[in-house]
Chain A
């Protein structure tokens, strides 16, 4: 441990002159090189596949090789422009390499490769917020189309593009929705470290994700993609060039996820402060660790699967093409082997945030720490054994359905641990209902509904009715939007005062919560009914008798969208216009991240702290001498 401390205690680098900062490696040079790389790839692709010279983008030009190469070269150019090649090139040439990038600069450090984990956290928060907003707008358009029972507003082709974009963006970008902003920012501080284990890789994960997001958005220029976020073959193989955007997007997300996970695991294992034993680790850090393990183990499967799909589309390898020796079942299996852990990658950080925040607002220690940890690790482990429940009616391995039914239902046991810990922590608490607490309680209700509806889907006979219907849609929106997005906002309201030194307007925040909570339930609760009445997912035309309920859902969805505008207004008003200063520790938290100064210094800690307890040292001990013998529920 001592060597770690010393190696980080190096002097801050010298400030570079202004001109050097402007023309050096930054977002501008990255964009220029990115565009150059894009057209280089486009050119090479056309040379390779048609031996024709340069052709501009046009809707009729269906050249997958050119587009895939253009994206890849564009991303490489973008990363070089940001300066990711500087370090390896310097080392290769034997020159002294800069260990720290932009850490000393002002506002400019947010617009380029920066190795300060706090800068990366804020970059992630803004970047992910942008894509959350775009994907949310897609959802608004989807609901606008569903105001009519036949395609009217956007048409079936555009509708499918919207569905695919909404799904892929939410499932892809939001995998890092909590780990990106909050784990990058707070895990090093919570474990008493000065930085992440691999600061340059940390920055790389962010910029890869941004490149991925813009590539997915660019699919609208290439006809969109008709497969939804699952990208099932052989529809994938039929699809126009927009499908290539999806493939590159999700593969880049996979790389970013895998690296982010590796970095987190390395950081948490190696950089913990002296005395921070595993049983004193904040529960949020445990959830990040469990999520990271899932990311590292599942993302490579996704990348490989998409590489195979790309080869099928370009050089006719036929991995997934029936009649060419392949099988669409292979894609379904590989995709869901990634896809189900992915769902828990979205859910687990939410568990961590709720359990991390509850002790602060209930003024009680976390109830059942070990149970919570085993719950998260149990979920993480089991999530690799349930994937075929997505394929109950597909005809794959039908004999094994009882096994997947069992494993899927067993996974609700460790999930139940989390609920018990939440309930135990609330027992006889002194709860104050600040906005982060409200979002945590909202999570509890939403995830409960999501979990219980999941029981219907895990039961094969019952799943026969609900598979592929709006019931599934409602279920995973309850677990992901109700689970992840609610805790994402809990984390924003809880931690942004630390990140910025500014606080939110309380009244607007409460309006945001209540409107979002009510509109969310009013949007997604009726979808269970729609699914049970027989409305399939991803349709732009549906049975006329379902029209009334769909209009209700659409209007609720617009209110839900409006609640996000309240949040945006709150951000603009509180953080930009009025700039209300926050107290140093507004929630009276005992966690380590609230003990460092605001803004957090570049090195986080003058001296690495020595940890002697877990961060949940709240509450007044009862029955001194007999503590532990008193059951928590007994009246005292």
Chain B
């Protein structure tokens, strides 16, 4: 009984499966990957996630199909005590594997770096980000404290508001900081996540592209109401934003006067528990 050419059969199986599955993954899963197209950064993430998923699919199929193939065909007969071939390695396959995986991960790292340095990718970039988008930017300070986010607009008299509205199609420069413990500002639909550290100004850029409601959550454990640190924000037209911010300035005029002057960080009192 001639043994079939397992190497060829497996390779064909894998290549065919990958050729079918990878485009399917891109076409079917790609559009529903998070976080949607609420901002330039979010759309970028969808592309990144699609690319990563497309690269992961053949790798997943390689190992899974291999496992199924090996379990199906390379079996010990029932009650048998047969020995397998005493093969201890194969230099060529090992070299090919090392080269291919290295190229794969290096290209991923290069791709990730390029995507990151394009526009900061909505990821907290520290006090002085390497990449600063050109042009006019709306300044918003995100202040986290146990257990809510508030927002300060230095260009509008330093008014501090409890909910966020942003104008559509304008670059926003967010300064994320905290007054007590570490929080993380996560605006899901905008593809923004930046840790809010006490005494640190964490800058992140985002350009909303769609008028919609977005969710704001805390993504870093910050105490018992961490899960309830949840809010909705809105992306609105420039006109609506102007109206809204004027309203807020009037509404919070008295409170704004009593606030400390706007600064990138507010050095917190050491927040120890009561002795």
Identify the A interface with B (CB < 8 A).
Answer: 62, 151, 156-157, 160, 226-228, 230, 232-235, 237-240, 316, 318, 321-324, 327-329, 362-371, 391-399, 401-402, 405-406, 409-410, 412-413, 416-417, 419-420, 423-424, 426-433, 441, 444-445, 448-449, 452, 455-456, 458-465, 467-469, 532-534, 536-543, 588, 616, 618-622, 627, 630-636
Closest Cβ of chain B to A11, distance in Å, is 42
CA distance A160 to B147 in the complex (A): 15
B92→A631 contact, CB < 8 A: yes
A234 touches B180 (CB 8 A): yes
Contacts of B269 in A (CB 8 A): 323
Told that A240-B273, A633-B90, A635-B6 touch, could you supply 11 new A-B pairs with CB distance under 8 A? A160-B226, A226-B224, A232-B221, A362-B74, A362-B84, A395-B124, A399-B126, A410-B109, A427-B6, A620-B84, A631-B92
| Contact call B84/A429, Cβ cutoff below 8 A | yes
A397 neighbours in B (Cβ, 8 Å): 126
Q: In the complex, which of the residues A363, A366, A424 contacts B82, with contact meaning CB atoms closer than 8 Å?
A: A363
Given contacts A398-B124, A632-B93, contact A238 B224 (CB under 8 A): no
Q: Which residues of B contact A616 (CB under 8 A)?
A: 88
Residues of chain B from 98 to 112 with CB closer than 8 A to chain A in the complex: 98, 101-102, 105-106, 108-109, 111-112
Is B209 in contact with chain A by the CB < 8 A criterion?
no
The reply to whether A464 and B45 form a contact with Cβ atoms under 8 Å apart is: yes
- What residues on A are CB-neighbors of B34 within 8 Å? 465, 532-534
Q: Is B222 an interface residue (CB 8 A)?
A: yes
B217 CB contacts on chain A under 8 angstroms: 534, 536
Query: Is the C-beta of B1 less than 8 angstroms from some C-beta in chain A?
Result: no
B199 is contacted by which of A327, A427, A468, A633 (Cβ under 8 Å)? Answer: A327
Of chain A, the residue at the smallest CB distance from B60 is A452
Docked Cα-Cα span, A633 to B87, in Å, equals: 10
- Residues in B with CB closer than 8 Å to A402 are 109, 112-113, 116-117
CA distance A636 to B3 in the complex (A): 7
Residue of A with least CB distance to B117: A402
- Nearest CB to that of A469 among chain B residues? B219
Q: Are A468 and B186 in contact (CB under 8 A)?
A: yes
A472: nearest residue on chain B (CB-CB)? B219
B143 CB to closest chain A CB (Å) equals 14
Q: Which residues of A contact B87 (CB under 8 A)?
A: 364-365, 367, 424, 427-428, 619, 622, 630, 632
Interface contact B93-A323, CB-CB below 8 Å: no
Residues of chain B lying within 8 A (CB to CB) of residue A635: 3-8
8 Å CB contact of A461 from B112, B126, B273, B275: B112
What residues of B have a CB within 8 angstroms of the CB of A394 in the complex?
124, 182, 195, 197, 202
Decide if B71 is an interface residue (CB 8 Å cutoff): yes
Closest A residue to B108 by CB, please name it: A409
Complex interface: chain A residues within 8 A of B60 (CB)? 448-449, 452
A239 B84 Cβ-Cβ under 8 A: no
Complex Cα gap A234–B196 (Å): 12
B273 CB to nearest A CB, Å: 5
In this assembly, does B212 line the interface, its C-beta being within 8 Å of a C-beta of chain A?
A: no
Query: CA of A462 to CA of B191 in the docked complex: distance in angstroms?
Result: 9
Residues of B within 8 A of A632 (CB): 85, 87, 89-90, 93
- Chain A minimum-CB-distance residue to B189: A534
Within residues 55 to 102 of chain B, which ones have a CB less than 8 A from any CB in chain A? 55-56, 59-60, 63-64, 66-67, 70-71, 74-76, 80-90, 92-94, 97-98, 101-102
Contacts of B220 in A (CB 8 A): 232, 468
Contacts of A543 in B (CB 8 A): 215, 230
Q: Is the CB of A445 within 8 A of B67?
A: yes
The residue of chain B having its C-beta at the shortest distance from the C-beta of A620 within the complex is B83
Closest CB in chain B relative to A423 CB, distance in Å: 6
B193 at the interface (CB under 8 A from A): yes
**Closest residue on chain B to residue A63 by CB atoms:** B275
**Given A235-B181, A423-B63, A430-B76, A541-B228 contact (CB < 8 Å):** yes
Contact of B70 with A429 in the complex, beta carbons under 8 Å? yes
5 residue pairs A–B, Cβ–Cβ below 8 Å: A430-B83, A468-B219, A534-B34, A588-B81, A635-B6
- Taking A461-B44, A619-B86, A633-B90 as contacts, is the C-beta distance between A431 and B193 under 8 angstroms? no
A541 to B217 alpha-carbon distance, docked (Å): 11
Task: Evaluate contact between A467 and B108: CB separation under 8 angstroms.
Answer: no
Inter-chain contact B199/A620, CB cutoff 8 Å: no
Check B167 for interface membership: any CB of A closer than 8 A: no
Q: Once the chains bind, are B219 and A536 in contact (CB under 8 Å)?
A: yes
Residue B184 at the chain A interface, CB threshold 8 Å: yes
Interface SS, A side: loop
Instruction: Verify B193–A430 contact, CB threshold 8 A.
Output: no
Distance of B78 from chain A, by nearest CB (Å) = 9
* Interface pair A631/B93, CB less than 8 Å apart: yes
Say whether B198 faces chain A, with CB atoms less than 8 Å apart. Answer: yes
Q: A397-B126, A402-B116 are in contact. Are A366 and B85 (CB under 8 A)?
A: no
Do residues A620 and B85 form an inter-chain contact, with CB atoms below 8 A? yes
Query: Which 9 A-B pairs rank lowest in CB-CB distance, beginning with the nearest?
Result: A539-B227, A619-B86, A468-B219, A398-B126, A395-B202, A461-B121, A322-B199, A364-B84, A426-B70
With A409-B108, A431-B76, A460-B116 in contact, do A395 and B84 touch (Cβ < 8 Å)?
Answer: no
**Which range contains the number of B residues in contact with the other chain?**
35 or more
Interface string of B21-50 (1 = CB under 8 A from A): 000000000000111000001001100110
What residues of A have a CB within 8 angstroms of the CB of B56 in the complex?
452, 455
Query: Taking the nearest CB of chain B, how far is it from the CB of A621, in angstroms?
Result: 5
| B86: contacting residue among A461, A462, A618, CB under 8 A | A618
Which of A62, A537, A619, A630 contacts B83 (CB under 8 A)?
A: A619
When A419-B63, A539-B226 are in contact, do A413 and B270 touch as well, CB less than 8 Å? no
Minimal beta-carbon separation of A291 from chain B (angstroms): 23
CB <8 Å contact, B76 and A234:
no
Shortest A484–chain B CB gap in Å is 19
A358 to chain B, nearest CB (A): 11
- Distance, CA A368 to CA B49, complexed state (A): 33
Residue of B52, B127, B203 near A455 (CB, 8 A) is: B52
A461 close to B45 (CB less than 8 A): yes
For residue B171, CB closer than 8 A to chain A, the reply is no
How many Å lie between the Cα of A464 and that of B192 in the bound state?
7
B74, A430: Cβ atoms closer than 8 Å? yes
CB-nearest residue of chain A to B274 = A62
Contact among A323, A369, A538 for B221, CB-based, below 8 A? A538
Contact: B273 with A448, CB < 8 Å?
no
Q: Is B161 an interface residue (CB 8 A)?
A: no
Cβ contacts under 8 Å, B6 to chain A = 427-428, 633, 635
CB distance from B262 to the nearest CB of A (A): 19
A329–B48 CA distance with the chains assembled, in angstroms: 28
B49 contact set on A, CB distance < 8 A? 456, 462, 465
Q: Does B136 contact A (CB under 8 A)?
A: no
Contacting residues, chain A, for B112 (C-beta < 8 A): 402, 405, 409, 458-462
Question: Is B267 at the interface (CB under 8 A from chain A)?
Answer: yes
Question: With A367-B89, A428-B85 in contact, do A461 and B198 touch (Cβ < 8 Å)?
Answer: no
Interface string of B165-198 (1 = CB under 8 A from A): 0000000000010001110101010011111011
Q: Are A156 and B224 in contact (CB under 8 A)?
A: yes
In the bound complex, residues from chain B placing their C-beta under 8 Å from that of A469 are: 219
Give complex CA distance A194, B59 in Å. 44
Residues of B within 8 A of A448 (CB): 60, 63-64
Q: A409-B109, A429-B74, A541-B227 are in contact. Are A399 and B90 (CB under 8 A)?
A: no
| Set of chain A residues within 8 Å of B184, measured between Cβ atoms | 393, 467-468
A365 to B195, CA, bound (A): 50
The CA-CA distance from A543 to B80 in the complex, in Å, is 55
Q: Judge whether A329 and B126 touch: CB under 8 Å.
A: no
Q: Is the CB of A465 within 8 A of B45?
A: yes
Residue pair B130, A399 in contact (C-beta under 8 Å): yes
B122 within 8 A of A: yes
Residues of B within 8 A of A367 (CB): 87-90
Question: Which A residue's beta carbon lies closest to that of B4?
Answer: A635
A532 and B271 within 8 A (CB) = no
Q: Which residue on chain A has the smallest CB distance to residue B130?
A: A399
Closest to A464 in B: B123
Q: With the chains together, A557 CA to B65 CA distance in Å? A: 27
